[in-house]
């Protein structure tokens, strides 16, 4: 029976594999008081807000966001999580993001950028992968053809040595 090696580093090797799908577009902004990370999923916008000093979620804040020229008051969904819905999907490009945050007696303005790419980038990468598969398949066919040719030549040479019919 095989013996498993002990894991000295505390790693969990039975953890599920990470998803390999495309990541949603993100932006971030930091100040001396707050850290803000935003995730855009179509028209849905989710913002995670933490305190810079200890990374604790900001529980009850008023977050007003301006993204791509659109102003949006976000609603609290959970501790440190705020969400809103954009009027329309954002256009590709580099988009300025500004957030005004009021939490208890603190207030701050943080700014960042969202670099939003077109979907064609993902499509081109997918097309490139099919071209790579086609190149590998063509190479495999060439190798198989060369092996078959060599085997046939060897068999013909054996027939000649044994005095096979001409």
Report pLDDT for 121.
44
Assigned CATH class of 26-116: mainly beta
Which distant-in-sequence residues (6+ apart) come within 8 Å of 36 by Cβ? Answer: 28, 29, 30, 47, 48, 49, 50, 99, 101, 110, 112
Query: What is the spatial distance between Cα 156 and Cα 150, in angstroms, rounded to a whole number?
Result: 10
Q: Give the pLDDT of the chain (166 residues) as one tens digit per residue.
A: 555 555 555 555 555 556 556 788 999 999 999 999 999 998 999 999 999 999 999 999 999 999 988 999 999 999 999 999 999 888 889 999 999 999 988 999 999 999 988 653 455 455 557 677 777 778 888 888 888 888 888 877 776 666 655 5
Residues in the chain: 166
């Amino acid at each position: 029976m095989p013996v498993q090696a002990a894991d000295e580093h505390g790693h969990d090797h039975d953890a599920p594999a990470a998803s390999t799908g495309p990541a949603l577009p993100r932006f971030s902004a930091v100040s001396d008081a707050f850290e803000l990370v935003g995730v855009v999923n179509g028209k849905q916008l989710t913002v995670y807000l933490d305190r810079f000093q200890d990374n604790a979620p900001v529980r009850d804040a008023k977050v007003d966001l301006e993204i791509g020229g659109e102003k949006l008051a976000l609603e609290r969904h959970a501790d440190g999580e705020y969400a809103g819905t954009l009027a329309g999907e954002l256009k590709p490009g580099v988009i300025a993001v500004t957030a005004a945050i009021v939490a208890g007696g603190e207030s701050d303005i943080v700014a960042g950028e969202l670099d939003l790419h077109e979907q064609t980038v993902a499509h081109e990468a997918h097309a490139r992968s099919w071209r790579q598969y086609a190149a590998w398949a063509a190479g495999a066919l060439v190798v198989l053809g060369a092996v078959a040719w060599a085997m046939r030549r060897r068999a013909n040479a054996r027939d000649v040595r044994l005095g096979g019919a001409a």
